[in-house]
Amino acid sequence: KMNTFNRNISVLQWNARSAMSNKPDIIYLLNNHKIQIAAISETWIRPHFTFNIPGYSCIRCDRMEGRGGGAALLVCSSLTFTQINLPYNPLLEVVAIIVNNIGFVSLYIPPDIGFDKDYWDSIIHLLPTSFFLLGDFNAHSPVWGCSNTDSAGNRLLNFIDAHDMCILNDGSA
């Protein structure tokens, strides 16, 4: 999903299911759509691997054990950013930055974990007033295109309502 705001920052969010395998596609999207910030979920990168995209800084949170997971933010070298130190949660992967006083969070929540309101409340308090939560929540609701609602979807919807947030989605699940 791509969105342009402030007329000069383009953002991409993609569940890559292996950033290493899909690196040529990531580079293609970044270059051809002039993406300045990319939130990649399910990076599947192990901590000992290097992952570089020319012209971008890569901020990642890799899954320490097991397969899958991972979250990253790719930030165009023309942008100045500050990384936010987040509370550690061994059950999910999340990274966050601030660019032009806007927070960007890339996340991956495994399907067996669900949405933890208390943890995300602590994250929201570290972000500027304007922010984007981007990633794979593994939460289902017809509000964002799923055919069913699960408990994680209900918790996420309640969280969105409690924080007066908006959902940006093209209607696909």
Per DSSP, what are the bridge partners of residue 44? Answer: none
Q: What is the pLDDT at residue 110?
A: 94
* Neighbouring-strand partners of residue 25: none
Mean pLDDT by 10 residues, the chain (173 residues): 58 96 98 97 94 97 88 97 95 96 97 90 96 95 92 94 91 75
**Tokens representing 20?**
């290493």
Asked if 38 contacts 28 with a C-beta cutoff of 8 angstroms, the reply is no
CA nearest to 71, candidates 79, 62, 84, 80: 62
* pTM attached to this predicted model: 0.93
Quick one: tokens of 83?
């990384």
For residue 117, give the nearest of 156, 71, 151 by alpha carbon: 156
